[in-house]
Structure 1
Amino acid sequence: MQNKFTSTLSIILLAIIFVALVFINNQLLSTVRLDLTENQVYSLSEGSKQVIKEIDEPINLYFFFSDKASKNMTSLRNYANRVESLLTEYETLAAGKLKLHVLDPEAFSEQEDQASQYGLTAATIGAAGESIYMGLAATNSLDEQQTIAFFDPQKESFLEYEISKLIHQLSEPEPVNVTVITDLPITGGQNPMTGQPDPAWTFFSQLEQLYAVENFANDISALPEETDVLVLIHPQNYSENLLYEIDQYALNGGKVLVFVDPHNESDQMAMMAGAMTGGNTSNLETLFTAWGVEFNHKQVLLDAMAGLDIRTQTGGVTRHFGFVGFNTEQLDRKDIVSANLELINGASFGIFNKIKTAGSQWKPIIQSSVNTDLMDVATYAQTRDPDELAAAYQTNNKSYVLAARLTGKANSSFEAPPENSEIQGSGIEGHTQSTNKLNVMLVGDTDILADRFWVQQSNFFGEIITTPFANNGDFFNNAVENLGGSDALISIRSRGTFARPFTKVDELTVVAEQKFREQEQLLEQQLDETEQQLMQLQGQSAQDGSLVISPEQQTAIDQFMQQRINIRKSLRDVRHQLDKDIESLGNKLKLVNIAIAPIVLILLLVVLRAIFRTKPKKVKALKQDVVSSEQGA
């Protein structure tokens, strides 16, 4: 009776403890998270946390996901759960500044109308042609809105960046002010070679559509005060005052995008004037040295692997080792600026090297292949025949950095402001000597901005239509957009993915498919040989004037049929073995997860139970020995 009462009391106490722990978890520990995933994919980076802290007014997040219409889409539903979990993490850390609303836009519902009004993408991927929504809309107190039209699972590594960017744009809706300094004719004008008016360069037209842009020549002496992103293109003959302005702007947290070039080929007049003096080169050696980087403006990169095919004056096609196109293998797939790009074209790139004693952090964005050589600028400028470049080429078997991101620590190039500087009035007190917030992107070519390397123009009923064939414009816009965000937003890099593929299965598939292709090639080879043999036999028969198939021909045909049957059987065996290997691996995994793992866990519990039961017995025996010894005494 007493044991029954004790058991009942224990159950009641366990229930009370359970309810108490649930209450403590929901009320007191609701903000506590423990992310045990390998890449911390369910946690926010410090950059995102900083973006959340900078929110001044409440923001509403509307996550639209077609839950009912996607019942049989397991992978899509898993990714939707991943997105919702991350959005919940944002809401939790925002402490009331973010309000998440999860909506299911069913067909002909108000939620579907709302998703359509926000401009979200309705992807027709359902089994019965249903429209599937999986996007995010956000609004602030000023009724401004930003959207992510559709969460593409292939871009999962940038999921956090896209959400943080959306929140940042709503919390700071002021337009980004971009200051461009260059002497290149990027705004268009009369062409001195043809006398005809040239339109503005396409990248500059796109820039003006997206941002508030001010364009200045190289002879200015001061930067506009409201500069969010500073773009320097082909810097030449900068005054000391302008160099100092750029130096202080960068050291005080300004974002700088620099395009330098050992040999600019897009300004025809300047190139002709500089051809005999070693090319039309540009550099910012004074500032680069202080930032911890060197630019080789005396040599041009030749890349045999990345060389572009161009049309010669005789109408032929040849590869130009100085005109290069870099694909996904040479672009950094982890940097938001270049992650989704496929091809960047340019000409006569210069290379960057990091100074060993530099305090800044160095992150290459574009690198050459290893099939490279460096040629003197003067020699390159005077060599107009691509075949001569190829003849002079000797590979270094070395990859070079052609574009890079610099962040972190840097010192000023100036001990004090120049005498006639506008900052001179405040003396040394207004001078910044060092920083740990450097944020600069460097590109070793200016020709990548010229239209001829990435867009094709056509006249459509009086309107100029530009069709890109490379991602140069995307690269430039991504760089400005990235630099135009906050420091916290820029610090967010690509994250890992939550999906864990069966890599062993993929390896088995690759190996089996390789065998399958080898067998296919063998079949095709034997088919060709047999057909040639048949043609020879038919030719002999035609010469003899016989229309009846000879025994030799019949034998060859029989052999062909038998060979085809045997090889097709081997192809089926390879495919069957592939399925068998994958099925065997799956059975092993099921055995481990369903049988072996629970058995091991049970055995472990039995061992622990035995250990804990043995200890009380030993203690009890020890007490009895003590009592017996005391009675004997």
Structure 2
Amino acid sequence: MLNKFSGTLTAILLAVVFTALVLINNHLLSDMRLDLTEDQVYSLSDGSKEILKAIDEPVHLYFFYSDKASNGMTSLRNYANRVESLLEEYASASDGKIILHKIDPVPFSEAEDKANQFGLTGATVGNGGDPVYLGLAGSNAYDDEKIIAFFDPKQESFLEYDISKLVYQLTDPKKVHVSVITDLAVMGGQNPMTGRMDPPWTIFTQLQQLYDVQKLGNDIAEVPADTDVLLLVNPKNYSEQLQFSIDQYAMHGGKVLAFVDPHTDSDPMSAMTGNGATDINNLLASWGIEFNGEQVVLDAASGLDIRTQNGVERHLGYLGLQGNALDKDDVVTASLDVINAASVGALMHKKDSKTKFIPLIQTSDNSGLIDGATYGVTRDVNALASKFTSTNTAYTVAARLSGTAKSAFDKVPDGVETDDFVADTKQLNVIVVADTDLLTDRFWGSQSNFFGQTIFTPFANNGDFVTNAVENLGGSNALISVRSRGTSARPFDVVDALTVKAEKRFREKEQQLQQELQQTEQQLSQLQGQQAENGALVLSDEQQQAIEQFMQKKIAIRKELREVRHQLDMDIENLGSELKFINIAVAPLILVLLLGFIARISRKRASKEA
């Protein structure tokens, strides 16, 4: 009786302790989190935390997720939980400045109308299914609104960047001011070679639609004070005063996007002389880059096919860079498919530089260098190819520079008045591209006339690349530091290894059976064809027997082929069964035995003490 009462009392005490711990966790420990994932995917980076600290007015985030409509979509629901968890982390770390609203936009409800008002996209999954929403809308105290139309699971590595960018845009809603310094007619003008008026370059027309763009000539003395992003295109004939101003702009944490080129097809004078050298090599060197303006990169693997007098031929200087040539871990290039460029140069990281050098665009390994002057006078595609020698090196065409850098100037130049000379910085933010031709329309799009309106159709991502770079640099230093993170889904390395092993074991057998099946079907077709040619209505006994044998063989081969294909998955299924047995039976059994062993030792100690 005493043991029964003691057991009941123990159960009651355990229930009370459990309830107390739950209450303590919910009320006192709700803000405490421990992220044990490899890439810390459930934690905010330092850059995101800095953005949250800068919030002055409350920001409302509306997370629209179709919980009911997504029933049965396991992968999407798992990703939605990942997004929701990260949004809760933002709200928790914002000290009450971010107010998170979770909304399930059920069809034909006010919640769905609100999602549509924000401009969110409902994905239709399956035949006749309800639209599934998985997006985010945000608003600030000034009624500014920003949205993420749909969280694409394929872009999970940029999930934190996208959310932080939305929060930053609501915190600092002013339009980004882009200062463009160039003597090229990027905004349109008279062509000195043809005498005709050229239209503005489409890339800069698009930038004007998104940002406050100011075009300046090479004759200015200093960078405008209100510049958020400094865009240098084919920098030539820069005065020492202007170079010093650019240097100090970068040293003070200003963002620079520079396009240099060893041979500029878009510059008539450079195209004739082959001289595309830049004036800012000293600035590039201080940023950690070595650039030889007298050498052009040829790439046998990435050369584009162009139309010549002899037909369609491959031009080793006109490059279509795609796939592994584009950095998939940087937000600027991750979503791009192809960048078309011409007569590109090579950027190299200075060995003694402490600046962080990240290649964004690279050529293939089957590349080599050619003198820029020789390239300029070699018009024949085949003659150019004959001068190509591969160095088996992938050359960097575009790179991101960040971190520590020194000024290109030891002192303030004569004639310049300033009391704020900065000799070094730890906040360098620069992107350098060794080509200017990729900015011109002909390398990334085509124009057509549609009822009197000019339609520009892109066939490459050059415009997206420039827009992404300006958008990324136009954010704060904290936002720029939030780039690609890890994903919550982890690869099953053991399963992958088993898959490879199984395929290697059974693939040869499968191929052999496929060949036997194909031969059997051919022989059967020949017999049936002979019957049709002879016009025979009745088959001989030998023909009938042969056809039956081939049919039986065909059935037997198909059966064996299905069995082989089934065997491909057997090892993986067995592994799954073993894991289920371990998780469901073995692990709990070990835990029970361990607890029983500890309890037994405790009772023995208690009896000895008594």
TM value normalised by structure 1: 0.88
Once the two structures are superposed, the pairs formed by residues 28-43 of structure 1 within 5 Å of their partners are 28-43=28-43
Counterpart of 1:384 in structure 2 is: 379
Counterpart of 1:593 in structure 2 is: 583
| Paired residue type of 1:24 | I
- What SS class does the counterpart of residue 68 from structure 1 fall into? coil
Q: CA deviation at 1:582?
A: 3.3
* 8 Å Cα contact 1:251-1:412 kept in structure 2: yes
| Paired residue type of 1:334 | D
Once the two structures are superposed, the pairs formed by residues 52-451 of structure 1 within 5 Å of their partners are 52-125=52-125, 128-272=128-272, 274-275=273-274, 279-282=275-278, 284-314=280-310, 316-421=311-416, 424=417, 426=418, 429-451=419-441
Counterpart of 1:478 in structure 2 is: 468
- What SS class does the counterpart of residue 156 from structure 1 fall into? helix
Separation (CA, whole Å) in 2 of partners of 1:241 and 1:361: 27
- What SS class does the counterpart of residue 384 from structure 2 fall into? helix
* 8 Å Cα contact 2:61-2:98 kept in structure 1: yes
- What SS class does the counterpart of residue 136 from structure 2 fall into? strand
Separation (CA, whole Å) in 1 of partners of 2:517 and 2:4: 85
The change in CA–CA distance for 1:617 and 1:77 in structure 2 (over 3 A counts) is same
In structure 2, which of residues 485, 488, 492 is the aligned counterpart of residue 498 of structure 1?
488
Measured against aligned partners, the alpha-carbon deviations of 1:457-489 in whole angstroms (never above 9, x if no partner) come to 111122111111111110100000000001100
Q: CA deviation at 1:524?
A: 7.3
Counterpart of 1:452 in structure 2 is: 442
| Paired residue type of 1:465 | I
Separation (CA, whole Å) in 2 of partners of 1:14 and 1:530: 72
Separation (CA, whole Å) in 2 of partners of 1:3 and 1:534: 82
Measured against aligned partners, the alpha-carbon deviations of 1:121-140 in whole angstroms (never above 9, x if no partner) come to 11111564211111111111
* 8 Å Cα contact 2:527-2:547 kept in structure 1: no
> Structure 1: which 5+ residue stretches go unaligned?
621-633
Measured against aligned partners, the alpha-carbon deviations of 1:324-381 in whole angstroms (never above 9, x if no partner) come to 1111211111100011111111011111111122121111111221111111112211
* 8 Å Cα contact 1:261-1:283 kept in structure 2: no
Moved more, 183-192 or 470-479: 183-192
Moved more, 554-563 or 367-376: 554-563
Q: CA deviation at 1:562?
A: 6.5
The change in CA–CA distance for 1:607 and 1:267 in structure 2 (over 3 A counts) is same
* Identity over aligned pairs, percent: 58
Moved more, 320-329 or 228-237: 320-329
* 8 Å Cα contact 1:264-1:281 kept in structure 2: no
Measured against aligned partners, the alpha-carbon deviations of 1:186-234 in whole angstroms (never above 9, x if no partner) come to 1112233333322111101100000000011112111111000001111
Separation (CA, whole Å) in 2 of partners of 1:513 and 1:22: 49
- What SS class does the counterpart of residue 133 from structure 1 fall into? strand
* 8 Å Cα contact 1:70-1:126 kept in structure 2: no
* 8 Å Cα contact 1:455-1:467 kept in structure 2: yes
* 8 Å Cα contact 1:508-1:578 kept in structure 2: no
The number of equivalent residue pairs is: 608
* 8 Å Cα contact 1:512-1:574 kept in structure 2: no
The change in CA–CA distance for 1:189 and 1:567 in structure 2 (over 3 A counts) is farther
- What SS class does the counterpart of residue 324 from structure 2 fall into? coil
Moved more, 340-349 or 388-397: 388-397
- What SS class does the counterpart of residue 499 from structure 1 fall into? coil
Q: CA deviation at 1:263?
A: 0.9
The change in CA–CA distance for 1:521 and 1:462 in structure 2 (over 3 A counts) is farther
Separation (CA, whole Å) in 2 of partners of 1:512 and 1:465: 53
The change in CA–CA distance for 1:608 and 1:15 in structure 2 (over 3 A counts) is closer
* 8 Å Cα contact 1:283-1:297 kept in structure 2: no
Separation (CA, whole Å) in 1 of partners of 2:529 and 2:114: 75
| Paired residue type of 1:192 | P
| Paired residue type of 2:286 | A
* 8 Å Cα contact 2:502-2:571 kept in structure 1: no
The change in CA–CA distance for 1:617 and 1:520 in structure 2 (over 3 A counts) is closer
| Paired residue type of 1:252 | H
Separation (CA, whole Å) in 1 of partners of 2:183 and 2:582: 68
Separation (CA, whole Å) in 2 of partners of 1:280 and 1:508: 54
- What SS class does the counterpart of residue 323 from structure 2 fall into? coil
Separation (CA, whole Å) in 2 of partners of 1:27 and 1:594: 33
Measured against aligned partners, the alpha-carbon deviations of 1:514-558 in whole angstroms (never above 9, x if no partner) come to 88886786677678878998999999999xx97779999999978
* 8 Å Cα contact 2:136-2:149 kept in structure 1: yes
In structure 2, which of residues 461, 477, 485 is the aligned counterpart of residue 487 of structure 1?
477
Moved more, 610-619 or 365-374: 610-619
> Structure 2: which 5+ residue stretches go unaligned?
none
Measured against aligned partners, the alpha-carbon deviations of 1:137-171 in whole angstroms (never above 9, x if no partner) come to 11111111111111111111111111110010011
* 2:574 paired with 1:584: yes
